Amino acid sequence: MRRRIDAFENSARALEKEDVELLCLRFLLGHKTVENAWRVFENTLKWRLENRAWEIVGEEEGGSPEKWAHFEKINPYRALLPTTRFTIDGRPFILDPIGKTIVEDLVQKCTVEEYAMFYREQTISNVG
């Protein structure tokens, strides 16, 4: 999928502000095979380019992560924390790299309440 996306003319522009790896995963999970996923994804790319989608995508409803509570304390661990998105059927899809977060370091940097507030804002922004 990724090679096809990279080879598609103006794909970088069409996917501006998007997590391309997550999109690939969602399309692959939703459409079962690479061929099916690519067929639908290609139509999505064409639509985005025709409609200049990058011009209408604004900030997520919950705002940028830098504005979330306690971002500065949690950000060094953010790439390793659970991430919630939704499948094409609207079901929660949670990425949680178990064993990758050094919890001892995280809890020394912030309280459970601070982490809960950060995670709540992250989840709300993803639901948007």
List the chain pLDDT tens, one digit each, 128 residues.
889 999 999 888 888 777 788 888 888 988 889 999 999 999 989 988 988 877 765 444 445 667 777 888 877 776 544 555 666 666 665 655 555 666 778 888 888 888 888 877 776 665 54
Q: Is residue 19 part of a domain?
A: yes
Pair 49, 10 in one domain: yes
How many other C-beta atoms lie within 10 A of the C-beta of residue 48? 19
77 and 121 part of one domain: yes
What is the Rg, in whole angstroms, of the alpha carbon atoms belonging to the chain? Answer: 17
Is 122 in the same domain as 70? yes
Are 40 and 12 contained in the same domain?
Answer: yes
